[in-house]
Structure 1
Amino acid sequence: MTKYAIMDTEGTGLFAFKDKETGQSIPADAPGQPRLASLSMILLDDDLTEVDEVQLYVKPDGWSMPQGEGSAGAVNGLTDEFLEANGTPINVVLDRYVQALDEGHVMVAYNAQHDMKQMRAELRRAGLDDRFHDTPNICVMRAAMALGVKKAGGGRGFPKLTDCAAHLGLVIDDAHSAKGDTRATLALFRHLHAVGALPEARVHLAKVPPSAPAVIEPLPEAALPESF
């Protein structure tokens, strides 16, 4: 049986993957790459029972949460003042994350490539093993393609978490907060598990594009989770 950790991170921005001029890959912990501001995890036992919930904010240490229109702070609502008052040192946050890994939890995230890269970066900055290649994970964003979710704005490609919630008839409380997005991800995870569309855990590399899963038939309304 498998234990899972449904997780979400909030940070100071999005990663740059390649240098526009040279085409060279940019390391996750390179100067200018985003910093971790919060980590949320819901730990599930091997029977998918919730056994613990973790919500940790990171106290800024030489970095600031961007503000202004379109910034990460505007999206996730986090400010330097809030993080200073409610945050903990990054090593405390990393210790809790590593503990979940050592306990055998498989990480599950919406756009796991981003969240795994975020944790990889902070572990490196702390001088620790980044655990990236030995942390198989499940990306429910990729798996959700099998549900035939339609994007609110139309177009092709991966749906947003809000699109998936709308597809399941759910409302996300505190959208774009690590806690709210983790609860929504848990609901999507449970649905994918119920319809047999949960993929095997693996390491997601930027250079390996995901394969498109086959579209599956939706569950009847009675089988959907009531809340998250």
Structure 2
Amino acid sequence: MIDLETTGFSPRQHDRIAEVAVVLTDTAGRVQDEWCTLVNPERDLGPQHVHGISAADVSLAPTFAVVAPHLARLLEGRVIVAHNASFDTRFLRAEFGRVGLPVGIDPLACLCTMRLAGTFLPSAPRGLAICCELAGVVHDGAHSALGDARATAGLLEHYLGLDDADPLWAQAHEASATHSWPGLAVPDGFSPVLRGASRPTGHWLSGLSDRLDRVPFPVEADDYLALLDLALLDRYVSFTERGALLTAAEEAGLGRAQVESLHRGYLDALARVALEDGMLSDAEVADLHEVAGQLGMDADDVAAAVERAASGPVLATLPDAGAHPRSEASGAVGTGGDDGVGEADALGRAARGAALGGAVATVAARPRFALARGDEIVLTGAMTRPRDEWEREARTAGLAPWPNVTKRTRVVIAADPDSLSGKARTARRYGIPVVSEGVLEELLRRVEVTRVR
């Protein structure tokens, strides 16, 4: 039994396999073994709302060139059974051909449970789910390769139970026994990658070592903070962005304690901006909690950030005892500055900052990302709304939707912020933010306000 999840419907349109599952059965249809892996399609994943595969997961998966030897070995001497077998075999031929292994799949060595439903489930329509329902077969995990392959195995066992003497079974077995697959050496060290592989077991900051800090503090962390601004544009630090942030921290010589301090300072900066009008709206509170969650902080950290912001400028408290506290608001170092902050007051504020949430780096107010009329934006992936609708709204707001990413592109809106599309890869190379579809509506509202003024 085999089932595939793909980026679309046609390999001729450059669609690729994104997941493959094989369920091995005996001649009576009883399950013997099963195998499944995601496959990196090296392109956008297509309708992710259908198959539910994340770009972050497939970025960790092997390409089909790596999967091919394992798959060929599993299929050797077996009858290929699939629901809508012509679809699966079409993709298999294309994928094997793409890696230089043209394989002819004998139609006689294949069985299609969708076509066989006409014989064994005369009233059934074509869909796998309804065929399983009529046959009393459990179908969990619909639109996952392994879930659908298991369901297909259940259908085959049901058909065989109704009539295991039908000549077509023997014909298929005879054809599969004489059909040869390419003899490929199976490389060592291959491990299937399953859905959820990118899901962290702890917070993504666990990727930073707990070593002693190697650089003085406060540190010039502009590059890291600029990257964090882009990552939090849609209030979601994607898998790709996590990796980039960890790399930036490592390159700057930052230990985990320093990064956590920068994060607290970042949250403080947002709280100060939110409190500029003297009050916090429900939306602003929710936003602070959302950012805190993405940065590995909790409700207590939000409360501490708000308290620090409400009580005025607070000096940095430092993980490195030899560094000097510095007030962002006054420009003072150590014993005071233009605003007349005395040493006692400074130390008191520093101590309060430490009591409220540990070391806190002073971070300047973060500029709010906004688009101006004429800015170029690029959309990529299968959106939940038709792309032409988004582009029409963008033009109405004064933006310029563009078909390809250039260095003039301000932002790329992706169905999945970890998208593997060529547009997303180019954007990352140019340092252009790649954000989720959900942020586009907010960006369009800001352009409208700017345009009206």
Q: CA shift at 1:129, angstroms?
A: 2.3
Task: Work out which of the residue numbers 59, 64, 69 in structure 2 matches 1:90.
Answer: 64
Question: Is it true that 1:137 corresponds to 2:101 in the alignment?
Answer: no
After TM superposition, the structure 1 = structure 2 runs for residues 53-202 of structure 1, keeping only pairs within 5 Å, are: 53-61=34-42, 63-66=43-46, 71=47, 73-85=48-60, 87-102=61-76, 104-133=77-106, 136-146=109-119, 147-151=121-125, 159-196=126-163, 199-200=168-169, 201=172
Question: Is it true that 1:33 corresponds to 2:33 in the alignment?
Answer: no
CA–CA distance in 1 between the matches of 2:160 and 2:28?
12
Question: In structure 2, what residue type is equivalent to 1:118?
Answer: F
Give the alignment's Cα RMSD to 1 decimal.
2.2
Identity of aligned residues (%): 31
Give the structure 2 partner of residue 10 of structure 1.
5
Give the structure 2 partner of residue 24 of structure 1.
none
Question: In structure 2, what residue type is equivalent to 1:101?
Answer: L
Q: CA shift at 1:100, angstroms?
A: 2.1
Q: CA shift at 1:173, angstroms?
A: 1.1
The SS at the match of 1:105 is coil
Question: In structure 1, what residue type is equivalent to 2:63?
Answer: P
Judge conservation of contact 2:3–2:20 (CA < 8 Å) in 1: yes
Alpha-carbon displacement from aligned partner over 1:63-85 (angstroms, at most 9, x marks no partner): 1102xxxx2x2111012112113
Judge conservation of contact 1:43–1:50 (CA < 8 Å) in 2: yes
Q: CA shift at 1:34, angstroms?
A: 1.7
Which one has more relative contact order, counting CA pairs under 8 Å at least 6 apart?
1
CA–CA distance in 1 between the matches of 2:150 and 2:30?
14
CA–CA distance in 2 between the matches of 1:49 and 1:150?
23
Query: CA 1:168–1:45 in structure 2 vs 1: closer, same or farther (change >3 Å)?
Result: closer
CA–CA distance in 1 between the matches of 2:85 and 2:97?
18
Q: CA shift at 1:183, angstroms?
A: 0.9
Query: CA 1:11–1:135 in structure 2 vs 1: closer, same or farther (change >3 Å)?
Result: farther
Query: CA 1:135–1:12 in structure 2 vs 1: closer, same or farther (change >3 Å)?
Result: farther
Question: In structure 2, what residue type is equivalent to 1:130?
Answer: V
Flag the structure with larger Rg.
Answer: 2
Judge conservation of contact 2:25–2:153 (CA < 8 Å) in 1: no
Judge conservation of contact 2:117–2:124 (CA < 8 Å) in 1: no
CA–CA distance in 2 between the matches of 1:34 and 1:81?
18
Q: CA shift at 1:44, angstroms?
A: 2.0
Gaps (5+ residues) in structure 1? 1-5, 16-27, 152-158, 204-228
Judge conservation of contact 2:137–2:155 (CA < 8 Å) in 1: no
Q: Judging by fraction of residues, say which structure has more helix.
A: 2
Query: CA 1:79–1:179 in structure 2 vs 1: closer, same or farther (change >3 Å)?
Result: same
Q: CA shift at 1:46, angstroms?
A: 4.3
Question: In structure 1, what residue type is equivalent to 2:159?
Answer: L
Alpha-carbon displacement from aligned partner over 1:86-111 (angstroms, at most 9, x marks no partner): x1221232112211232x11110000
Judge conservation of contact 1:149–1:164 (CA < 8 Å) in 2: no
Judge conservation of contact 1:13–1:35 (CA < 8 Å) in 2: yes
Alpha-carbon displacement from aligned partner over 1:132-154 (angstroms, at most 9, x marks no partner): 24772100100011212344xxx
Give the structure 1 partner of residue 421 of structure 2.
none
Alpha-carbon displacement from aligned partner over 1:106-131 (angstroms, at most 9, x marks no partner): 11000000000111010010011223
The SS at the match of 2:105 is coil
Q: TM-score, normalised by structure 1?
A: 0.67
Question: In structure 2, what residue type is equivalent to 1:56?
Answer: T
Q: CA shift at 1:33, angstroms?
A: 3.3
Spell out structure 1 runs of 4+ moving beyond 6 A.
Answer: none
Q: TM-score, normalised by structure 2?
A: 0.35
CA–CA distance in 1 between the matches of 2:107 and 2:144?
27
CA–CA distance in 2 between the matches of 1:162 and 1:134?
24
CA–CA distance in 2 between the matches of 1:195 and 1:49?
14
Question: In structure 2, what residue type is equivalent to 1:139?
Answer: C
The SS at the match of 2:133 is helix
The SS at the match of 1:138 is strand
CA–CA distance in 2 between the matches of 1:82 and 1:56?
11
Judge conservation of contact 2:29–2:154 (CA < 8 Å) in 1: no
Matched residue pairs, number?
A: 169
CA–CA distance in 2 between the matches of 1:52 and 1:150?
28
Query: CA 1:96–1:131 in structure 2 vs 1: closer, same or farther (change >3 Å)?
Result: farther
Judge conservation of contact 1:149–1:163 (CA < 8 Å) in 2: no
Alpha-carbon displacement from aligned partner over 1:171-214 (angstroms, at most 9, x marks no partner): 421111101101110110001111117644379xxxxxxxxxxx
Query: CA 1:172–1:101 in structure 2 vs 1: closer, same or farther (change >3 Å)?
Result: closer
Gaps (5+ residues) in structure 2? 177-453
Query: CA 1:144–1:64 in structure 2 vs 1: closer, same or farther (change >3 Å)?
Result: same
